[in-house]
Structure 1
Amino acid sequence: MTSDAVQPCPVADAHRRLMDCHDQWHTLHDSYLDPDGFRLNLNSLVPNLRNVTWLLQKQKAAIPDFATWYPEFQQACKKSEIMGWVVKSRNRITKESDLELLSSCQVVWTRNWIERVEATAKFPPRMSTAEIIHAMRHSGTPPFGVISVRRRWVDKALPAWELLAATAEAFSRLSQILWTAHNAFGIERCDLGDRSTECVTSSLNDSLMRLPCMHLAQSELQAHFTMSGGIINEEFESVDLSPAALKTSAERYGELKFPNSGPIENVTGFMAIARTMAEKDGHHGTFAFLYDGERVVATQEMEFDNQDTKMLSFEGLADLVESTRADGVVIIGEIWLAMPTEKEKELKSIFFPARDRLDRMEGLTVYSSTRDGRQAELLSMIERGPSGEARCGEPVEIDFPTGVNTLAPIRRRWADMQKRGL
């Protein structure tokens, strides 16, 4: 875009309608446990999503290069299961009948990093996830691992998609095409005012990332528990990379050169930063950086106090991968390592986790993986001084990432996204 000054919106009718859809999406979310309310709000939202493109097309004669870039959007829509569903559903709602909605719960038992069991359970639509968990805990559940319960409304014509996710996906595509229309006029910001709902603004996305508010709202429809530890609460904390935060970091650690290439290439740069911080602080937290190509699209500080919450944290990171359309990830954090004993080598399939071993060693690792199958890792062993101070050794390359299990949820999600055309 060529100008960052506020200018009159060049496609005001379509843009306002998109903002209406944003408001309606949150109303749809708020009515999730009310079957009639959910149906009513969905019947309002879907036609409005369709109307955004109609309103845009009415102004095509005035939009620069419309005949060049809009047909590309149309071709992408023809290949999109979601956009095809929006068109067909609008016709069904306005001319035939309501959508055929089905309510269910997806129950996922995560036994360990690799083994997961998924099932669909039937509960009354007005039953909250907390009430479902209470019922499940008193009906007999597996003795270990994490049980995740996700409330789902689906349309019979689109069974692979939960409807909040489907409409959020459609919204993202429409936001991107309106961004393209603004870009055609050279407009960075238009004069449409924000709404009373704090997150409903005139901002547009230049990618298919879902809005953070939609990502967080969808997470409210799921809950997690273990038989031993009870309900597990999810927390999301992004990494602050604002100028003020970077200035504070520079005062503590000195000037840190943030790597600015792709996720694989950035492993070396992140390791240099991680070693500096670990030696200064005596420890290092776990952080994730999600990439679209060479651009960081999300950052996440990950906190966990046992294996169950660690698995859940990486499952949540996989949700964020889909919401941001990330195709690469970098993980930074400390790990425990241990060499297998002779008895473990003999038994082959049995290996006691390093965290439970007396002879465990401490390491700092930075590992990366991409959707196209590339991966990289550097490992720096940590030695402790008499007062507990940390010294990080020279990094070494690891052919088989120590974090391979933690990436399993993300790889599963990429495979699922491929099946759904994302």
Structure 2
Amino acid sequence: MSDWLERLERKAELRAKAGLTRQLRHRSPDDDVVDLAGNDYLGLATHPDVIAAARSALDAYGLGATGSRLVRGSTSAHGALEDRLAGWLGTEAVLVYSSGYLANLGAVRALTRPRTLLVSDAHNHASLIDGCRISGAEVAVTPHADVAAVEAALAAAPGRPAVVVTESIFSVDGDLAPLADLHAAARRHGALLLVDDAHALGVIGPAGAGGAAAAGLAGEPDVVVTATLSKSLGAAGGLVAGPAALVRHLVDTGRTFIFDTAPPPAVAAGALAALEVARGSDGRRAELADRAATVVRRLRAAGLEVSTPAGGVVSVTAPGPETAVAWAADCRDRGVAVGCFRPPSTPDSRARLRLTVNVGVPRADFDRALDVIVECAP
């Protein structure tokens, strides 16, 4: 075996000993596992209006976009989706990407110029972390949700351009960032605020417009919002929302936009249909909040350490990586899919089960799944 392959095999062995091996599982259409692992919070991935819109666009355009957005990949479906997203989020403009990951990389890079300081929350998603790294800017990582630490980092760099980078609902523990206070701190120092609304869009805020809107920051000229279409909208893709000048800059210069194939038109059309359903889904959001509260109540009553969720993400602390993997596997063997987060995917070296609430799961199945999680607990 070649030396480089031997090194990879050795690294794989070390990961296995540490309980950090990952495994692909291929889901079949008739999979009957209760889903508390995916991010389809509002149950819209299989909504009939969404499927019908995607099918119609599939018939009209075919399978793929056939090119980047600037070549042949932009369709009327993409344009309509961007217009409706901007109206929903209360921003001047929106640009749709093929993934939320690329949207975050593009947004961070676009907001970075010489001498920029990026002030990044310690619990930020990997895409934000990678965006900060790729930008080449100086990065100050501040303790989680610590406004005073953010203020101190900004005060220590007077006169420099700066961007405060945060999620709204954090992807690991599901807690809500103090967005209004972060924005006030950023504005006092002339900094921008970049909010990744991936887990809040469709879940909180007026008509589900997300965490920035819930904090009263919609349309503020010093606020940029990113999000995915793959969670509450049940589709795929990402977005950057903000001033029209920013979107123009991204179209002209953003490498993760210019050189990437556009999302398939059927996906864009399906996401647009999901958006229309989501805007009028206050009942689904209320059910989501009720179920998240039920998770916390039931699991804490069983003696488990559980986060306090602001949306549909609830984390449950596990004793360690190997235990978390075994716990998740036992749940799956009993028909319940849960997320399993281990270092280095967690910001504090703690292993967790991550549960995501999907209101499309029948309530009886949801309640049974909580019983299984408790019964399989280490």
Fold match, TM over 0.5? no
User: Normalising by structure 2, what TM-score?
Assistant: 0.27
Higher relative contact order (CA 8 A, sep 6+): 2
Larger Rg: 1
TM normalised by structure 1 equals 0.25
